[in-house]
Structure 1
Amino acid sequence: MADTKCDNNKNTAVRFMINYSVRFLSGALFLYCCWIPFQNLTGWFSYHVILCTFGYLPLMAEAIMMFVGDDIWSKNISRKAKYAIHGIIITVATVVTIVGNILVFVYIQTGYHLYTEHGITGLISMIILIISLILGLAVYYPNQAKNILPLRPVTIKLLHNVCGLLGFGFGIISLCYGYFTHWFIYYNGEESRYAALILTILVSLWPLHGAFVSLYHQVKSVLNS
């Protein structure tokens, strides 16, 4: 029994360290991506980079990490408060990302951005995130939603989570493609870009792994109900 408790404490400590390492690296990646744009805030493209990066890395990653477990601040609040905070963070992140994408779609008149891997995955992410946000409202207000969506609340919640994970995943893929756009190559060296690519993948996998575990249990619950 004592050995089991000791192992659990060690696992909790390890997960705690990983949680906050991920947060630190998310902040570092955000600064890396936005260092040049911060120095040129007069250009509209700078706001595209800042807003989209901020929406995905610190904000969405944090909203997903709330449900990873062994996270001190979110572990000590009620489930209702956790869902409310999660909803607020995701809403802000989605709005920030939409504004950042609108900037590049409007100001690049040729539409070239939409023909790149970076632009296509970014657009897919934005669309899925909007759907996820609508489903999230349906989850939070089930009585009002049942008259609009003929689905069980547990099914709506599952769809919301699936869309949220897909939206975040496509956003991270878009960010990774962004490291190889002409603009990013011009301002950043090859070594730093590949280092940022690897760190972005690692930082994203941690919150996603916890979310997928939760999603697995949700799918079982829906199938068994």
Structure 2
Amino acid sequence: MAIKVDYGKLPINVTRFLLNYVTRFIFAGLFLYSCWIPFQYLTGWFSYHVILCTFGYIPLMAEAIMLFVGDELWSRQMSRKSKYWVHGILISVGTIFIIVGNALVFHYIEPGYHLYTEHGITGLVSMIFLILSLFLGLAATYSNEMKQFLSLRPVWYKLVHNGIGLLGYGIGIVSLCYAYYTKWFMFYNGPESRLVALVLTIAVSLWSINGALVSAYNQIKNLVS
């Protein structure tokens, strides 16, 4: 059977395809940039905090969110149910990494110190939202079973899960941006490289959520229609 190609949309699709994979390469570069010092000192607990939390957000969280972008070639070969499972696994593993990474800071640093820094506050808030998002994701997956406890349309669970998850991811990226300007990071990295990392982090993070924002818009339309 012949495959119909919409040549009018081809330039847009090619551009989005390239941007998706450029985003992935930049995320990989940002992860290595953030963790190249911790990789050299794996005996220190703080090294594991940096590696676990960074890897939890990029690439795991980012990939979980980009999974539902409509023009993703590899994910288009998967059924929607399979996408949900892969999404759930990536989000769960990423959240566990972030919880363990933050627990190291809470345990080894003077109690309460993390609440006096922008990096620490945003990291803690992000983690709380991500944990909530996990439970909401389960509620969305088993929305029919949830009717005996709370009579809501399934799209409500999906919308709230989407919104809380995006908040957790977005605040986590803000925490990562603040991390570039912590004393530890400034000691090992120059101002030029930190500025480039900041700009790239903001740019690719905004691009990574475009599919989730479209999904949220469609869910809102479904609710008000």
> How would you bin the TM-score normalised by the shorter chain?
over 0.9
Cα distance between partner residues in 2 of 1:95 and 1:36: 22
1:111 and 2:144 matched: no
1:155 and 2:156 matched: yes
1:125 and 2:126 matched: yes
Could you say which residue in structure 1 is the equivalent of 2:212?
A: 211
Q: Which amino acid aligns with 1:45?
A: F
Could you say which residue in structure 1 is the equivalent of 2:71?
A: 70
**Are residues 93 and 149 of structure 1, via their aligned partners in 2, closer, same or farther at CA, if it must alter by over 3 Å?**
farther
Could you say which residue in structure 1 is the equivalent of 2:56?
A: 55
Give the superposition deviation at 1:150: 4.2
Give the superposition deviation at 1:156: 1.0
Query: Alignment partner of 1:5: what SS?
Result: coil
Task: Provide Cα deviations, 1:20-44, integer angstroms capped at 9, x if missing partner.
Answer: 1001110110000000000000110
Cα distance between partner residues in 2 of 1:149 and 1:94: 26
Query: Alignment partner of 1:6: what SS?
Result: coil
Cα distance between partner residues in 2 of 1:139 and 1:5: 34
Task: Provide Cα deviations, 1:191-217, integer angstroms capped at 9, x if missing partner.
Answer: 000100001001101111221111111
**Bigger mean CA offset, 6-15 vs 29-38:** 6-15
**Alignment of structure 1 residues 169-184 onto 2, 5 Å:** 169-184=170-185
Could you say which residue in structure 1 is the equivalent of 2:165?
A: 164
RMSD: 1.3
Could you say which residue in structure 1 is the equivalent of 2:202?
A: 201
Give ranges in structure 2 of 5+ residues lacking alignment: none
Q: Which amino acid aligns with 1:47?
A: Y
Cα distance between partner residues in 2 of 1:117 and 1:45: 18
Give the superposition deviation at 1:77: 0.9
Query: Alignment partner of 2:6: what SS?
Result: helix
Cα distance between partner residues in 1 of 2:40 and 2:149: 47
Cα distance between partner residues in 2 of 1:51 and 1:154: 32
Give the superposition deviation at 1:7: 2.8
Give ranges in structure 1 of 5+ residues lacking alignment: none
Give the superposition deviation at 1:143: 3.5
Cα distance between partner residues in 2 of 1:130 and 1:151: 21
Cα distance between partner residues in 1 of 2:105 and 2:151: 37
Query: Alignment partner of 2:8: what SS?
Result: helix
Kept in 1: contact 2:143–2:157 (CA 8 A):
no
Could you say which residue in structure 2 is the equivalent of 1:188?
A: 189
**Bigger mean CA offset, 4-13 vs 83-92:** 4-13
**Are residues 180 and 66 of structure 1, via their aligned partners in 2, closer, same or farther at CA, if it must alter by over 3 Å?**
same
Cα distance between partner residues in 2 of 1:16 and 1:48: 33
Could you say which residue in structure 2 is the equivalent of 1:24?
A: 25
Query: Alignment partner of 2:172: what SS?
Result: helix
Give the superposition deviation at 1:139: 1.2
TM-score by length of 2: 0.94
Give the superposition deviation at 1:104: 0.6
Give the superposition deviation at 1:50: 0.3
